[in-house]
Chain A
């Protein structure tokens, strides 16, 4: 340990500023919303039904996601098979998957002319439609089943292997193992996972935008968007934003008490050797669960690829310009995240104990709704500039803020470890300032920093939130362009553009993530 806290230095001061900028942005935009809402304007019946739908669909999505995730996690925890590691990795992918790509895939499978209806029609059954409340819930389960599975699988991985060995020597069958080992773990893990899914579903705008709508399937965020874009009713947008702030704020506070991990990037590929659950019935059950879940998660992506590939050759020029815009936004967002996360990490480490306050301030963004921040910014800027002209910078900024909590979770511990392990040595040879950053900190944190950069690029690339609020017809990013092509029923072009978006997003993540692993020597 170095004596005393280190001096903050210019990098550290920038970190303090960056960490405080996050709550400042949230507070300023919330203030603008509050000011615009003014007193005395209540909620209309339509607004109330949006509130009810938001809470209801989030609750149903959470229950379904968890209800399906438990058997899937249990099957993955007690079976070893070829491709298991790949499947577990794949379960982390939806986090990076642009929403519009997932929606397109789901429409291709479950939509009117999709594969499911083809099968149903062949069987003489009535066809199903994906638009409406159940479509929103289906998409939410598609997104959150993998997340919930990873969270619960972590719970299984946290049960020491010796316990299962002990259970085997005592001759416990699957039911006994469940009662003595698994159920207590689930009681601990499931509430947090369910709350996290609930919170995510209360703020998922793009899915409601593409699959929901109408009086029966409008979320609060979608109502904000409609008030702003269609009615230009700033006051109603502001009132709804306050409602949304209250919903996410309360839900996030509840979730924070349970959730420590986001379930991404953790090592879950070591199955424990199990001796219970060897009966053929249970093996069949687990096999079926794994098979069905894999199909559910993979088929939509296959559909995007199959439908998109043929149209790939003559993509309209508007798609390529949209790609360039998206790349610019992603680059700016990534640069902001890397600079911000680096500065904040240094400041947190240098402040020692007091650094936790700073970390907490920056993590606040978890509870923020990008659409509410966007609404606040819209209210602030529109008297002075055409919001459409600011669409790209605002999108990059909000994307960066929303990525910050995940990036900090990855980078701060590594920075602390680097200083704890090698700080004394660095002090003894007089490493300070930029040299210390270059020779000690950066090499030690390159892996999580690369991961954070990849995350920032991928999330920004696929974002369909604030951009929808601000964009005019000329400034579409790639996800917005896909959405517009879908809206115009140009499905082949939409498929090809969605495929392009998917490939570029995953390639960006991989490039940054790999880049960080390049010269690791631990």
Chain B
């Protein structure tokens, strides 16, 4: 579904290579030391970071030169996912149409999405009135409505406590069941919980996805160092 075709990313001295496909309709985790380029990999897929070489494909479609908003991709960042000056319903409605205008039809869809992430009745509130976990849920609701086949999650729950994080991961697995999801995390247990396969990023290379349990049961030396 999502394919990095001989991708090279250069930012000053930093370089990252990736050449693999991600399993369609499943959750794939990205792990690696901080500064290794996990977020850079996602940024390249989302269209925020230009490629020095190679292509990014979604399905059969080359999206390398498409701007972020036009890619068949939704992104959830670690924070700053919501416009603080817009209410939750409008923030979520941006997933339906970038005008954010709430027609009756859209309002119904927004309410449905909010209900699925456990935020019924929160549409009229501002982001500042929500807890961190609730803000993450609202961001997921918007990604849900956007109906893009690929969902990129860049450490979206890093600021949440362990129990809350497990709940959010379960929610991700449930609501994005039919989509191709890539989630950056630094917690091995997160990867084990939801990701069938995991990409290990280190030393300028994003490795081909391998089965998560096998990877962590018998980690390569670099991953062993990282896990400590």
Contact = CB atoms under 8 A, between A and B. Distances in A.
A443 B86 contact: yes
Contact of B69 (A3, A427, A443): A427
Contacts, number: 68
Nearest to B146: A429
A432 B126 contact: no
Given A2-B48, A3-B50, A521-B85, A421 B100 contact: no
Nearest to A1: B48
Given A435-B99, A435-B100, A520 B85 contact: yes
B49 interface: yes
Interface in A480-521: 519-521
Interface in A422-449: 422, 424-425, 427-432, 435, 439-440, 443-444
A317 interface: no
Contacts of B70: 430
Interface residues of A, number: 23
Contacts of B90: 439
B67 interface: yes
A175 to B, nearest CB: 48
Contacts of B94: 429, 431, 439
Interface string B73-105: 011010011111110001000110011100000
B48 A519 contact: no
Contacts of A424: 48, 68, 77, 80
A444 B80 CA distance: 14
Contacts of B77: 424-425
A440 B68 CA distance: 16
A428 B69 contact: yes
A438 B48 CA distance: 23
Interface in B50-65: 50
Contact of A432 (B48, B82, B86, B98): B98
A123 interface: no
Given A430-B98, A432-B98, A444-B85, A422 B68 contact: no
A69 B70 CA distance: 57
A422 B82 CA distance: 9
A340 B85 CA distance: 24
Size bracket of the B interface: 20 to 34
A521 B127 CA distance: 9
B68 A428 contact: yes
Counting chain B CB atoms within 10 Å of each CB, the highest count among A430, A435, A520, A522 belongs to A430
A168 B11 CA distance: 50
A444 B49 CA distance: 25
Contacts of B46: 428
A429 B71 CA distance: 10
Interface in B85-141: 85-86, 90, 94-95, 98-100, 126, 128
Interface string B145-179: 01000000000000000000000000000000000
Nearest to B94: A429
Nearest to A431: B98
B49 A3 contact: yes
Contact of A3 (B47, B84, B95): B47
B126 A521 contact: yes
Contacts of A422: 80, 83
B80 A3 contact: no
Interface string A398-441: 00000000000000000000000110110111111001000110
B83 A440 contact: yes
A430 B82 CA distance: 14
B98 A425 contact: no
Interface of B: 46-50, 67-70, 74-75, 77, 80-86, 90, 94-95, 98-100, 126, 128, 142, 146
**Top 8 A-B residue pairs of the complex, sorted by shortest distance between their CB atoms:** A430-B69, A443-B85, A427-B68, A430-B98, A428-B75, A429-B94, A521-B85, A431-B98
Interface of A: 1-4, 421-422, 424-425, 427-432, 435, 439-440, 443-444, 519-522
11 contacts: A2-B68, A3-B48, A421-B80, A424-B80, A427-B68, A428-B68, A429-B94, A429-B142, A431-B94, A431-B98, A435-B99
